[in-house]
Amino acid sequence: MAVTQQLSPAYPQPSRLDERGVLEIGGCDALELAREFGTPAYVVSEDDLRGRARAMLAAYGARAERFEVVFASKAFPCTAVYRVFAEEGLGCDVASGGELAMALAAGFDPARIYFHGNAKSVGELRAALDARVGTIVVDNGDEIARLEALLGGRTQRVLLRVTPDVRGETHAAISTGQADSKFGVSMADAPAAIARLQAAPGLDLAGLHFHIGSQLLDVVPYLRAVAAVAELGDFPIVNVGGGLGAAYTDERPPSIEEYVAAKVDAVQAHLGLDRVIVDEPGRALVANSTVTLYTVQSVKRNVSTWVGVDGGMSDNLRPMLYGARYEVQVADRFGGDVLCHVAGKHCESGDVIARDVMLDDPRPGDVLVTPATGAYGHALANNYNGVPRPPVVFVKDGDARLVVRRETSEDLLARDV
């Protein structure tokens, strides 16, 4: 009998339920992927990554004459993911020396790299200068002093990060544009920082940067932020950050086209038409590209039904950090009427991947799938309880390839001295 259940927008493109009711991602059977690569595993649709990059570029190309789309790589710092976006013509935003190394290894032109961070070390700044990154986004006065000391006669293009005192409607842990923020300089302090950068030999202040938060589902805060930053002066570049939300369960974020239109219209209204607009999407490019596969280890029923899997907060920390919600399904039996909590294997009562999800008679050996784990799953993965981090598997046109292998016990011991 044909399968009629529709997949939610949280799943990668292309995904479907086959005639047996088994999930396919990128033409690959989820059960076969679990058997071949083990679980937990991050499974990434390469076509989804490329499709979202192309959609973002097309949306900007339809609205703005001068723009740059830059991958906020903290969302999925994996060399293979960097390589896809470099091939698609994006720039790259890095926030550490490690992300810089991966971006360069993946083939990003250093001139198209933006180096971010609120506490860049001397070593990281030196690495950025030595690599000749195109832009360093200056966060604070101490950083200006460090850069001046390191330049050694070189010239470096910089942007100044400002906090426009606009809070996006999102969790406090991922809100960054409010006045009381660890990021950037306040609106009150920005004029002095601008003057200092303009007077500094070797530092070329090309524009301003702001970012108001992540997983935003409303475009209105962007409009307020652009209006605020416009008061600080006339610069050739305005970096409007990223922040577009992704669909995890029942969220309905703005479309890429709506998001881009709101930002471009705001910049043109407040700053004019002759501005280079830089956008830094991260989550919006990668969240829905990926699913995580788990294997059920136990099912127990006390007050609730607890489904224990072979992963948890070591591969998806977001539910524990800020209560992020996820869909979960049995990979070959979507739907169901058993109310469950899907729990991880770690020694924390808070290690719960998803609460109050409906599953079809879950039992040990079942493969579960959690969609929308491309953003910050691999990025936040850790070795709590000595658990090796999962592999990353790319799928496309029915073929699967390993791009990051699973860690081993030997890897956990490799740094011992």
Active site residues: 347
**Residue 65 is assigned to a ligand binding site:** no
**Residue 348 is assigned to a ligand binding site:** yes
Q: How far is Cα 42 from Cα 294, in angstroms, rounded to an integer? A: 9
**Residue 344 is assigned to a ligand binding site:** no
**Residue 107 is assigned to a ligand binding site:** no
Q: What stretches of 73-178 adopt beta strand conformation (E)?
A: 91-94, 113-115, 135-138, 156-163
Q: Are 282 and 74 in contact (CB under 8 A)?
A: yes
Q: How far is Cα 71 from Cα 227, in angstroms, rounded to an integer? A: 24
**Residue 280 is assigned to a ligand binding site:** yes
Give the dihedral sign, CA 267/271/273/276: negative
Name the burial class of residue 262, with classes exposed (0-12), middle (13-18) and buried (19+) by CB atoms within 10 angstroms of its CB.
Answer: buried
The pair of three-digit structure tokens given for residue 248, joined into one six-digit string? 């995890």
- Of 288, 246, 248, 280, residue with least CA distance to 263: 280
Alpha-carbon separation of residue 249 from 46, 130, 357, 373 (angstroms):
22, 44, 11, 12
Is there a cis peptide before residue 191, judged by omega within 30 degrees of 0?
no
Angle in degrees, CA 403, 100, 198, rounded to 5: 155
What does the DSSP assignment read for 7-33? PPTTSPSSEEE-TTS-EEETTEEHHHH
**Residue 253 is assigned to a ligand binding site:** no
**Residue 201 is assigned to a ligand binding site:** no
Q: How far is Cα 229 from Cα 233, in angstroms, rounded to an integer? A: 8
**Residue 318 is assigned to a ligand binding site:** yes
Name the burial class of residue 91, with classes exposed (0-12), middle (13-18) and buried (19+) by CB atoms within 10 angstroms of its CB.
Answer: buried
Strand partners, 92: 71, 113
Give the dihedral sign, CA 263/269/270/276: positive
**Residue 281 is assigned to a ligand binding site:** yes
DSSP-derived 3-state class of residue 188: coil
Binding-site entries for substrate: 283, 318, 322, 348, 376
Binding-site entries: 243, 280-283, 318, 322, 348, 376
Binding-site entries for pyridoxal 5'-phosphate: 243, 280-283, 376
